[in-house]
Structure 1
């Protein structure tokens, strides 16, 4: 089932690699001037896809949020796989869709995609 939006995490020092790849793979990318650690923008390919980059959202990790169901990926996992394949850096994402109503038990379950493959882990530990 297609997720309504996509969010991945990438180390801050690799965000520019991601942004360069997005521009090449998906079309023009526009970014506003950063406001603190947050930067808004959009990919303007076949459809406009709003995105937000939050540097240091989780320690050294930046959050990249695509606020659209019109991305090329059906899930965070699909996006993480594609980004890792394209830029070769570890990408993290939630294991599956999560909402507060789901409770806290699965909130810290994450997936990392890197050169060693894919593995679930608990980010809180």
Structure 2
């Protein structure tokens, strides 16, 4: 067998899946239609929503509610819950890979409101979050 895992797509999710599989000691192939540095993720500027330990006036419960409301009843609660509760772990993993998020005055990952959420939960890197993550 040449590969244990084949990942199709070089956006941030595909790159993250490929890195995770490689970390697990698997042989990985990444298939994409263009240069990974030119994916849609590479030009995304907004940020990543996550409830962090340092997040004030927010909770996973509120993040789940915002996400379900924004999905107009098209999202599964279990999938949204899993995504939301794993957010801080992913931010920390990205930090350990060298992704440098903007920081607030206390030295924590800065967060801002974005995309109609009720709380400041979007972790960002200026206005180039996608490019900074794909290039890290």
TM over 0.5: no
User: Please, what TM-score do these two structures have when normalized by structure 2?
Assistant: 0.28
Pick the structure with more strand per residue.
1
User: Please, what TM-score do these two structures have when normalized by structure 1?
Assistant: 0.30
Structure with higher Rg: it is 2
